[in-house]
Structure 1
Amino acid sequence: MRLEVLPVLGIGDVTEGDDLSALIATAAPWLRDGDVLVVTSKIVSKAEGRLVDVPVDGPEREAARAEILAGETARPVARRGGTRIVQTHHGFVMASAGIDASNVDRSRLVLLPKDPDASARALRAAIRERHGADVAVIVSDTMGRPWRNGLTDVALGVAGMPAVRDHRGEVDPYGNKLNITQMAVVDELAGAGELVKGKCDQVPVAVVRGYLGAADPDDGPGAAALVRDAEHDLFALGTAEARAEGLRAAATLSESTVGGPVPVPVRGDTEAGPDRAAVDRALRTVAGVIAPGTLCTLVTDDARVRARLGGTVPSHGYAHRALLDCAPPGPAGIDPGVLIRFGADLHRLRAALAAEGIGSAVLPAGSGVVGVTLLLTAAPHTAPGH
């Protein structure tokens, strides 16, 4: 494969209502079938009128920008100082929702296109119908990336080609079957286009030639296919935000409903009961913060557990469980302050267990017993949610 990445020069400033297809075709009469047109989202937004007026200076400008950001935000992700990482209504996770103040009059801000896939489809159709070139179109913008410094251009919208090249099911030269390899080729092409566009040279359009033999007859599903759904997003929050969410969950931790589903997924060997290593990790987590002398004894033998429960706890959905006997330090005649501290320590332990994926419920103490027994639950694989 031989690739060429060509800048489209001479487009000039774009204003609301401009015909992008005419501007591009005039500047690049050499466009041909199968080219991939990489168009900076900013000129798409300008042509579509996605601009808002703001004060040019002072706190009024910052207040206006914050209000606009709130309107473009579907969900906050992370905040550090003045930086806001949010998920837009499109599903993109971006700094400041992609709101841009560069290459535009200081009295205005540029928002992302309302529907970048629709913008790509419309531009592709106009170039094909009015100028005779059947091209694929990528609407691109600049993003940062988790784990890595630096920015790169990615695709916000695409028409005329798939967003992803799916290699799953293929076999590599060593005979290994590929199971997860899906390449975001439109992001790679957007990044290639940025190499000849630059940020200060006012070259908002590039052409990648040689990747496609021909554009697809259909526009395809667009760049929306690149947005990872919440169920599979392992990094939905920033570190501080995830920690705060965990603290809120710990503050509102409810007891496991005995006989019902465990509130959090269980890791480990659930066929043998709650994972002993996970219980040990939870105990180590709180070891340095609970009152010295507090005793915790784990009971995992199924016969002993059933004998202790005395048939009072239904077994359906909780065939795999253990008991954790917890006793405060000191003799039986404990003062109220020690008991209050013991209750707080018990909650710390239950939160640590929940973090390891183990549900817990407080069982009634026997007559004259000082301490608490926790029923630790690990639902079998057939339980709801597993």
Structure 2
Amino acid sequence: MTVEPEHDLSRIIGRAVDRAPQAPGDYSTQILAHSRRRRARTQALLAAAAVVLVVGGGAVAVRGVVGGEPPVAATPTSEAMPSPMMTTPAPIAQVWPEAVHTIPMKLPNSRKGRPLTLIDDRTLLLETWQSFEKADALYAYNLKTDQTRKITDIRTPKGVFASGYVVGGGKIVWQTIDNMRTSFWSVPLSGGQPTAVETDAPVEGRGDGLVVAGDKIAFSLHEGGVFTLPLEGGAVTPVQGAERHHILQWPWVGTPGEYTPDKGPSFEEILNVETGETSKALVRPDEESVRCGVTTCAGRRLGHNSFYRLRDGSRERDLPQSTMGLAYDRFMTVDLAPTGGQTLLDLATGRSGDLGLRPDAKGQVSIIQPGLNPYNRLIAYELKGQYVIIDLAKIR
């Protein structure tokens, strides 16, 4: 069955939300960006990339964030999308106070905690590092009380990194990649020692998508293919019809995946593995870097401006200059001229908030690109010695 988004949009979103993994706070969303070096090592783990671009003569650090829970069922409308912003909007904490938190960068033990994902509406999952990007412990941070609780220690061999953290079934699950094989690990949310999630055969390939779906782990590989595995361990089962696919927003999977060569489209074709529904997004020959979610796509016309529209091509609108990617199926970041900062733009309502980032004395500024993983819920970034935490699920 082929889905026509303009006629069936609410049903698509409703089913996606109903069938999405019920992880507390979900796999959920966006974590503080991981670096390009890690991305090269893992070839597209759910950890996002950090790259350096040159904008206006200055180096601009692009920091991605990951995670994911189904987005709020809000449909962008042509009326919602504003004209390119000419003035600076209010700070994001004033625009969406219910969605924004600030927390210290250091834990009570003086170690720097790095936001990973949301465990639930009030609890943030943090990691500390043994060395550059090599995790040594996980912590839970209560956003309401500012209390911190250690969950577990993490130990990995030299050259092997824990990544792709997700939450569900009362556990935290993550993956490691070693010699082109992916392994899975878990620990109870209450704490304890990590245990390997045993598989009936080695998982050959590099994991790039991971969720907890009920009593199963669902994962996809960078090389293509979607699989399930009992949360307690057991047989790895290929998902029928998804041999080339990658996880988009469970139970939606698609092809090509997020990482495409030559600025090609991502998730142009998607499949609901529970219902068999499919959707193919409109992509025109003169467009590049088209990134699609379950309902919405955003991209750039060659030599021209950016745009967003629904997957079938309807409700298309031009965008101000923006970073590529689409978070939670409705959010983008937009360059803020002339200050050199950024705003977070909600395509569903047209509202925007200033992220507060500005160039330093050398003209460098951290740029948040929330769409590197398209179903992220959490955005986290450093600002003035603190972390700013944005829960996209709280934006209505």
By the TM > 0.5 criterion, same fold?
no
Structure 2 length as normaliser, TM-score? 0.19
Mark the structure with the bigger radius of gyration: 1
Structure 1 length as normaliser, TM-score? 0.20
Flag the structure with higher helix content.
1
Higher RCO structure (Cα 8 Å, ≥6 apart) = 2
